[in-house]
Amino acid sequence: FADPELAELALGILAVLACEAIGRTYIVANLMCVEAVVEILKAQPLDSSMHIQALAAMQRLSLRRAPQDRMIALGIVEWVLGCLGWHGEAIQGMPSEFSLEFGSAMLMNLALRTEGKRRCHKHDALSVALNLMEHWNPQIRTHINGTLYSLLSLPSFRADARSRGLQGVLRAIHQQAASMGDEISKRQLEYLLEQLALPNAAGDGAAGTAEGGGGGSGG
């Protein structure tokens, strides 16, 4: 960038605007803005100032269907799985708590889309989820559980998860949550076990709403 300080300031303003629904509406009126932020996110070093601002903006924009579709087409599912799993050509080292929290929130939102689900399955989101399901940060756990809930609506993912022992993992974590009195985690895990037990004929559901219904971190 010709002026990194100006670019960082612009990203900061964008991230703040994206906090509010009216701001997101303004930004996504031109999806070239989303494309530009995706380019920055992929190009900047992990957890640099510009990376943090870009990730915050993208996570908030990932609440909307049109940006979700554009992000998925531009390879953000693959990028965020690389970030959360600490691998991939563009990923250097272990991500910070911020990147894990906002990255997992963005993944949860993108997994609402049918194509997002397919890409998550293709690029082994299950391994990433298994590594983060017991993370100490409850927000990250919630995002990972939400992602899994969406992915388990795919019969192919469900079959893969069963064959890899997800049921046993979920039951063990559920037992631990129950012993600790963690009712939120306990309930989330019960939903996942119910989803995992669906018959193979049960297929994918709706692919999200205009303001995605997902969730997200940090205001």
Q: What is the mean pLDDT of the chain?
A: 90
Give first-to-last CA distance, the chain, whole Å: 27
pLDDT tier for residue 208 given thresholds of 50, 70 and 90: very low
Query: How many other CB atoms sit within 10 Å of the CB of residue 122?
Result: 13
Greatest C-alpha distance within the chain: 55
pTM of the model: 0.89
- Residue-wise pLDDT for 133-144, tens only, equals 999 999 999 999
- What the block records as the tokens of 6 is 């100006």
The number of helices, as runs of H, and strands, as runs of E, in the chain is 13, 0
Identify the pLDDT of residue 211: 61
- Residue-wise pLDDT for 56-90, tens only, equals 999 999 999 999 999 999 999 999 999 998 765 44
Q: Strand, helix or coil at 121?
A: helix
